[in-house]
Amino acid sequence: MKKFSTVLTSAVVSLALFALAAPVFAQASAKKMVVNVASTFPPDSPQDKGLQKFKSLVTERSGGKIDVLIHAANAMGDERQTFELLSTGSVEYGAIGSNDISTFFPKYAVAEVPYVFTNVDQFWKYWNGDAGKQIADMIEKEKGVRTVGVILRGARYMTANRPIKTVADVKGLKIRLPPVKAWTKAWESVGALPVTVAFGEVYMALKTGAVEAQENPPETILNYKFYEAQKYLIATKHIYSAARIQASMKWFNTLSKTDQDLLTKAMAEGVAFANTLTKNGDAEYVKQLVEKGMTLIEVDTVAFQKAVAPAVEAFAKAEWDAAYFAKVRAIK
């Protein structure tokens, strides 16, 4: 009986000690921060590799106290949905293109319009210069979303199932475009028949013939396997596209300065890494697309630029902030 009493007493003491310790364990567990990244880019893309680099650095430098979860390929929504999640503080980071600008700041959606920029240098002068800072500051002030990094996606190429060698060949072409009014006007002006299709449905739309053509940077054409549904790769190089990494300030402002600094530095390094992959990326991705059976067609980009210029100018006068457009046009 005495032995049973001793065992019972020990069990009671152990339970009491566990109960006292439980809050400590809970506090330790609560200290682990989970950072979600809603990415509209696919696994193994340059953008994803940059985010994976960010994740690795954060895990290492935080000693495992910060866990980064990357939700790739629109898993948490398309560009607009991702931006709205960021604005409301429902997700920590997002990786998108420029849909937020064309949707919520259409008067300033100037940078990604056919032939406004014609080379990579102009692209970086914009995003690293005063005009890029102006739009980034506007978005942060009005929507609470900070642009923390820009990754070059590359020049946008057209793909089609019939050869497009001149501007005249575009006439009657059913081309998928995102819902960006300036893009629609530009392509309509040279006789194309733009069709709006959600990005996640583009592959099947091409496969079934619902649309004949689409346009995207070569890395996107490769990663989403559009080469399986399209024969020709046309080097129109009509837009130089950006991938932008953004942070929700509703979330970021709740962090300690130590955590803010750690995350900011790691993201800068991840973005820099991604840009090393895309620096000469178009040539590499085009090579891979040709190896997969696509036929590359080089076109006279100056002729295409001249052809869409009147439509772009008319759209600028009607829709864009004149001073901002002038600032962007001054970039050489």
**Cα angle at 316 between 309 and 322, to 5 degrees?**
130
Q: pLDDT tens-digit profile of 199-231?
A: 999 999 999 999 999 999 999 999 999 999 999
Can you give the length of the chain in residues? 332
Q: Are 37 and 85 in contact (CB under 8 A)?
A: no
As a whole number of angstroms, the distance between CA 145 and CA 133 comes to 13
pLDDT at 276: 96
Query: Looking at the whole model, is its pTM more than 0.85?
Result: yes
Pick the CATH number of 32-329 from 3.40.190.170, 3.40.50.300, 1.10.40.30, 2.40.50.100: 3.40.190.170
As a whole number of angstroms, the distance between CA 35 and CA 288 comes to 34
* Number of CB atoms found within 10 A of residue 105's CB: 17
Q: pLDDT tens-digit profile of 270-318?
A: 999 999 999 887 999 999 999 999 999 999 999 999 999 999 999 999 9
pLDDT greater than 80 at residue 10:
no
Q: Are 110 and 324 in contact (CB under 8 A)?
A: yes
- Amino acid identity for residue 90 in this structure: S
With residue 221 as reference, give the H or E element that holds it.
Answer: helix 218-223
Q: Which two tokens stand for residue 269?
A: 């390094």
Show me where the domains of the chain are located. 32-329
As a whole number of angstroms, the distance between CA 232 and CA 197 comes to 20
